């Protein structure tokens, strides 16, 4: 059996009882380590699980899945995913490859940012499509997220924005030369995301959102040091010191937000007067 085991959002204790039993008994245990990270090191996981763990980077999962699936017809293999196996990423290719080899697959669900963001006070059924924000480069500024946000905004729904992480990435120069030297890890912040969003709006000029659009920045959701801040996109550009270390996410509020959401999120506001004024002028309506 190939087991896809969700690890939850924060630390070694977030794994479910079912997931922990599978990890302890599996012949091999892999940790998918490029779409998200836990807030503890691999050694902490190994100590708690009582198992050695093989870190599976993007290259292994996408190009060397045969090694992960080796002998899974006759023994159990645990493939551990931060959050939920079918949350921010589905690992569809790995599952389809297992099916081709007649390997049974079972997923063990857990909390992900898709559900954990409810701690911001926003109601999950008021969310639309989730989008991703990547680090912009001088000659590469993808803006496909903009149209998805517009679709959400047109029907008044919130948008969860997942922020880029760069783990075990090569520079273009080293990649071209085939040199296996990797860049230091980078994790996008709410401030960087908000700034890039405003830059895209300035280019597009379609009025999907703007400096005065309300948003909530989230950090280390589900962890002991979980933190939320609420304000305008302009305010969130300078909120990284308040939010602290990674991982960060951002939510752009939809205009049909409920007054209960307003009151709950107001406790996180960087400036409650600004929050009240912008809300009264623009939100709580279709």
Residue 163 marked in a binding site? yes
Exposed / middle / buried, residue 195 (Cβ in 10 Å: 0-12, 13-18, 19+): middle
Residue 112 marked in a binding site? yes
CA 234, 235, 240, 243 dihedral sign is negative
Structure-token match 């922020």, residue found:
163
Residue 84 marked in a binding site? yes
Residue 38 marked in a binding site? no
Distance, in Å, from the CA atom of 17 to the CA atom of 2, rounded to the nearest integer, reads 18
Residue 254 marked in a binding site? no
Contact 79, 153 (CB under 8 A): no
Distance, in Å, from the CA atom of 129 to the CA atom of 116, rounded to the nearest integer, reads 16
Cα first-last separation, the chain: 48
Phi/psi zone of residue 80: left (φ > 0), alpha (ψ -120 to 50 degrees), beta? beta
Contact 135, 186 (CB under 8 A): yes
Residue 4 marked in a binding site? no
Who's near 171: CB < 8 A, 6+ residues apart? Answer: 181, 183
For 19, the token pair is 């997931």
- Contacts of 180-189 with C-beta under 8 Å, sequence gap 24+, read 186/135, 187/163, 187/246, 187/247, 187/248, 188/133, 188/134, 188/135, 188/163, 188/164, 188/248, 189/163, 189/240, 189/243, 189/246, 189/248
Distance, in Å, from the CA atom of 78 to the CA atom of 35, rounded to the nearest integer, reads 17
Who's near 30: CB < 8 A, 6+ residues apart? Answer: 53, 54, 55, 56, 68, 77, 78, 79, 80
Write out the binding residues. 9, 84, 87, 112-113, 163, 221, 248
Write out the binding residues for S-adenosyl-L-methionine. 9, 84, 87, 112-113, 163, 221, 248
């Amino acid at each position: 059996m190939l087991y896809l085991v969700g690890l939850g959002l924060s630390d070694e204790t977030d794994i479910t009882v079912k997931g922990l039993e599978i990890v302890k008994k599996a012949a091999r245990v892999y940790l998918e380590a490029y779409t998200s990270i836990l807030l503890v090191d691999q050694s902490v996981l190994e100590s708690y699980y009582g198992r050695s763990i093989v870190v599976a980077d993007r290259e292994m999962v996408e190009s060397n899945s045969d090694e992960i699936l080796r002998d899974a017809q006759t023994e159990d293999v645990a493939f551990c995913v931060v959050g939920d196996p079918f949350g921010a990423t589905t690992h569809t290719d790995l599952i389809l490859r297992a099916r081709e080899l007649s390997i049974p697959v079972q997923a063990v669900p857990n909390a992900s940012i898709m559900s954990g963001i409810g701690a911001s006070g926003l109601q999950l059924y008021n969310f639309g499509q989730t989008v991703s924000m990547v680090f912009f480069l001088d000659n590469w500024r993808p803006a496909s997220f903009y149209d998805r946000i517009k679709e959400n905004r047109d029907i008044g729904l919130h948008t969860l924005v997942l922020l880029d992480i760069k783990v075990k990435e090569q520079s273009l120069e080293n990649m071209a030369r085939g040199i296996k030297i990797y860049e230091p890890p980078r994790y996008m912040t709410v401030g960087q995301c908000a700034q890039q969003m405003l830059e895209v709006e300035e280019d597009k000029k379609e009025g999907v959102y703007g400096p005065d659009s309300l948003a909530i920045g989230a950090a280390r959701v589900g962890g002991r040091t979980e933190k939320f801040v609420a304000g305008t996109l302009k305010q969130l550009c300078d909120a990284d010191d308040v939010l602290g270390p990674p991982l960060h996410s951002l939510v752009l509020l939809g205009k049909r937000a409920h007054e209960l959401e307003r009151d709950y999120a107001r406790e996180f506001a960087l400036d409650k007067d600004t929050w009240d004024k912008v809300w009264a002028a623009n939100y709580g309506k279709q």
